[in-house]
Structure 1
Amino acid sequence: MTRPALGEVGVWQGRPPFTPKLALSLEQLGYGALWVGGSPDGDLRIVEELLDATTTVAVATGIVNIWKDDPRTVGASFRRIEARHPGRFLLGVGAGHPEAVTEYTKPLAALERYLDGLDAAGVPVESRALAALGPKVLRLSAERTAGAHPYLTTPEHTRQAREILGAGALLAPEQKVVLTEDVDHARSIARQAVRMYLGLSNYTSNWRRLGFGDDDLAGEGSDRLIDALVVYGDPATVKRRVDEHLAAGADHVNIQLLTDPGTDPLDDYRKLAEVLFA
């Protein structure tokens, strides 16, 4: 089995969740994959609904939390979906962050056990990926899955991740986007999205490895940190950041569009697609 074809650019969305209507519109605009965020339930019904509503776009989870649903349940869901939509689903799994899970201990060992369970449940290596930030989990993703799905990172992290993964493994980073040239407004929206991660050790440790220090991580994050994690501006500016990830070794970049509450994102996705897929 070969891994699902994601294209170079996809869309990551957590809340509000994807709807079948939005999924079809994004497919028609040319996006190659839809990443279902927000720790979807182990029955993966939302994945099936999005695949049912579309014909070619891949759907991936970003991510199924290993502490939430057991590999047998998730594996059965995978087999159901794969039988109905062969070759279009990438199962992304991850350990989340320690602050949210009381039983969070030795995540690397827990991930290895979970992957053993997915093996037993019949989920092929090529059809799964790991949320990975640090070197150990990146190496595990290359050894036991199709590759890595880093979240809230930079092109420099993508470069380092590719060196660790080696050639051939999937590297599919997420990239947050605010489509406005109003710097103050863009940073305000960006900080709302980044704020919670400033208190999570797996993210802050990763940013420290990338050269950010105490001043960058204090409060709601320095402008330097926010500007590194979230790209804002016109569609051409967004494309340059996507191209930076691709040049650094990414196979696929999934963009997460950040907007004001209540805003319909489709117009912005359309504007981006006109440049991204020109």
Structure 2
Amino acid sequence: MTLSLPHKALSIAELDDLDHDGVAAFVRGLEEAGHRMVWIPEVAGREAFTTAALVLQSTKELIVGNGVARALERVPKSAASAARDLAEGYPGRYVLGLGVSGAVRERGVGPLPFLRDYLDGVEATLPRAVPRVLGAYSEGITRLAAERADGLLTFLVTPEHTRWARETIGPDLFLSVVQWAVVGRSRAAARDVARERLAYYLTLPHQLAKLTRLGFTEADLTPPGSDRLLDALVAYGTPDQVRESLRQQYDAGATQVAISLVGPLDDAKLDAYRALAEEEN
């Protein structure tokens, strides 16, 4: 399947910190501002598929992707059944995203064979017409996305990685890149905000391995992270300056860039979401 999705999206990490009504109000506001698609990461707190259902039912036309649902959290049949129900209930508005981390090695299997077998289980239940993408950084799972999915979703990567991913999956597969951004702060202040969020990822072995492959050193990756690391991973400045930074990912081969605004959900951040939607429109 060739995925036809908006050129720009959002990856909204704020939902873990909001209650049911707060999620509904937040995503309605994003849609009313003009945003057309959101990816929902499954990091902590909220469960992937029930949260996707809440976002879908709270909006009218917003496209929602699990970006990504963690395969280790549920058996393939459960993920496939939930995805099928969402796709049937909200035609054209749902994308299944799946991913797995190196934690799967505790089960005595590597991420690639685990995810390959997991997709076998998903495909036994989920109609092929339901779009699906894989979250990946390694060469093996990146190639698996080209063979068994409709697209690839990457996160916390540089344009150099995007260029490599495009070369690996070929010219046609959908490629969405989640790009961190901080709007409306000085570079020094933006770095401080981004470091707070980056701290968690600098504890994860698979993220450290990915960043090492991208050329960052132990000094860069030692908490709280070097300025060089932050500047490579985060877009800063005004909405126009952030848009210029996004262009680097498109030029490197991204089909879509999903902006993830870093920092607390305050009035300034809501203003930034509205300003970024105005650019899209």
For the Cα contact (< 8 Å) 2:80–2:125, is it kept in 1?
A: yes
Counterpart of 1:54 in structure 2: which amino acid? T
Equivalence for 2:168: 164
Structure 1 position 143 matched with structure 2 position 162 = no
Structure 2 residue runs without a partner (length 5+): none
Structure 1 Cα separation of the partners of residues 268 and 129 of structure 2? 36
Equivalence for 1:48: 53
Structure 1 Cα separation of the partners of residues 42 and 196 of structure 2? 16
For the Cα contact (< 8 Å) 2:151–2:175, is it kept in 1?
A: yes
Q: 1:159 to 1:145 in 2, by over 3 A?
A: same
The normalised TM-score by structure 2 is: 0.90
Structure 1 position 73 matched with structure 2 position 86 = no
Percent identical across equivalent pairs? 32
Structure 2 Cα separation of the partners of residues 177 and 49 of structure 1? 25
Length, aligned pairs only: 274
1:16 is paired with a residue whose SS is helix
Equivalence for 2:66: 61
Task: Give the CA deviation at 1:53.
Answer: 2.3
Equivalence for 2:95: 90
The normalised TM-score by structure 1 is: 0.91
Equivalence for 1:6: 5
1:1-278 equivalences in 2 (<5 Å)? 3=3, 5-17=4-16, 19-39=23-43, 41=47, 44-98=49-103, 102-103=106-107, 105-124=109-128, 127-260=131-264, 265-275=269-279, 277-278=280-281
Structure 2 Cα separation of the partners of residues 246 and 137 of structure 1? 22
Structure 2 Cα separation of the partners of residues 38 and 263 of structure 1? 25
Q: 1:117 to 1:243 in 2, by over 3 A?
A: same
CA offsets per residue over residues 102-160 of structure 1, 9 Å max, x none? 43730100100110011001242761111111211111011100111111111111111
Structure 1 Cα separation of the partners of residues 233 and 240 of structure 2? 17
- Structure (1/2) with the larger helix percentage: 2
Structure 1 residue runs without a partner (length 5+): none
Q: 1:269 to 1:15 in 2, by over 3 A?
A: closer
Q: Which 4+ residue blocks in structure 1 deviate beyond 4 angstroms?
A: 261-264
CA offsets per residue over residues 37-88 of structure 1, 9 Å max, x none? 125536x122122222223221001111111111111111112111111121
For the Cα contact (< 8 Å) 1:10–1:254, is it kept in 2?
A: yes
